[in-house]
Amino acid sequence: MFRPAPWETTVFHRPASVRRRTAAVAALGLVLALTAGTSSATPSTPPANGRAPVVASTPGSTTALAGYAIQSTAKVTDSPAAVSSPGYPTTGWVAAAPRSTVLAALLAAGKYADPFYSTNQQKIPKSDFTVPWWYRSDFTVADTASRTYLDFSGVISAADVYVNGKQVADKGAVTGAYTQHELDVSELVRTGTNTVAFRIQPNDPKKNVTMGWIDWLQPPPDENMGIVRDVVVRRGGRVALRDAHVVTSLAVPSLSSADLTVKAQARNDSAARVTATVSGTIGRITFSQDVTLKAHETKTVTFTPAGFPQLRLTSPQVWWPAGMGAQPLYDLNLTASVAGSASDTARESFGIRDVKAPLNADGARQYSVNGRPLLIKGGGWSPDEYLRWDRTYVEDRLKYALDLGLNTIRLEGHIEPDEFFDLADRYGILTLPGWECCDKWEGQVNGGESGDKWTASDYPVAKASMAAEAARLRDHPSVISFLIGSDFAPDKTIEKNYVDALKAADWPTPVVAAASDNSAPITGSSGMKMTGPYDWVPPDYWYNKQEGGATGFNSETSAGPDIPTLDTLRRMLSPAELDTLWKSPSAKQYHRSPSSTFATLKLYDDALAGRYGTPTGLADYVRKAQLAQYENVRAQFEAYGRNAKDATKPATGVVYWMFNSGWTSLHWQLMDRYLDQGGAYFGAKKANEPLHIQYSYGNRAVSVVNSRRDAASGLTARVSLFDPDGTRAYDRTVTGVDVGGNGASTTALTVPASVGGLSTTYLAKLVLSDGSGKEVSRNVYWLSTKPDVLDYAHTDWFHTPTTAYADLKGLAAMPRATVSASGTTKVDADGTSTTTVTVRNTGPGRTPALLTDVHLVNADGAPVLPVQWSDNQVSLWPGESTTVTATYRTADLHGSAPMLRVSGWNTATATVPGN
Residue positions annotated with a catalytic role: 487, 556
Exposure string of 236-262, with b = 16+ CB inside 10 Å and e = fewer, is bbbbbbbbbbbbbebebeebeebbbbb
Is the Cβ–Cβ distance between 179 and 227 less than 8 Å?
no
Q: How far is residue 554's CA from residue 657's CA, in Å, rounded to a whole number?
A: 10
Question: Alpha-carbon distance 190 to 140, whole Å?
Answer: 9
In whole angstroms, what is the distance from residue 797 CA to residue 547 CA?
10
Cβ-contact 635, 542 below 8 angstroms = yes
Using an 8 Å Cβ cutoff, are 670 and 656 in contact? yes
Conformational region of residue 276, where left means phi above 0, alpha means psi within -120 to 50, and beta covers everything else: beta
> Which run of H or of E encompasses 242?
strand 239-250
Choose among 698, 358, 658: nearest CA to 545.
Answer: 698
Are the C-beta atoms of residues 199 and 160 closer than 8 Å to each other? yes
Of 479, 499, 484, 406, nearest to 444 by C-alpha is 484
CA gap 167, 80 in Å, rounded: 8
Do β-strands 376-380 and 651-656 pair in parallel, antiparallel, or remain unpaired? parallel
Gap between the Cα atoms of 128 and 344, Å rounded: 43
Task: Tell me the three-class secondary structure of 386-423, residue by residue.
Answer: CCCCCHHHHHHHHHHHHHCCCCEEEEECCCCCHHHHHH
What number of other Cβ atoms are within 10 A of residue 166's Cβ? 17
Q: State the Cα–Cα distance between residues 154 and 708, nearest whole angstrom.
A: 40
Q: Which helix (H) or strand (E) holds 350?
A: strand 341-350
Evaluate the CA torsion angle 431, 436, 442, 445 in order and state its sign.
positive
Q: Is-contact 210 131, C-beta < 8 A?
A: no
Residue 9 CA from chain centroid, whole number: 25
Q: Decide: 455 and 494 in contact? Cβ < 8 Å.
A: no
Sheet holding 372-373, edge to edge: 355-356, 368-369, 372-373
Q: How many residues does the chain have?
A: 915
Cα separation of 64 and 85, whole Å? 19
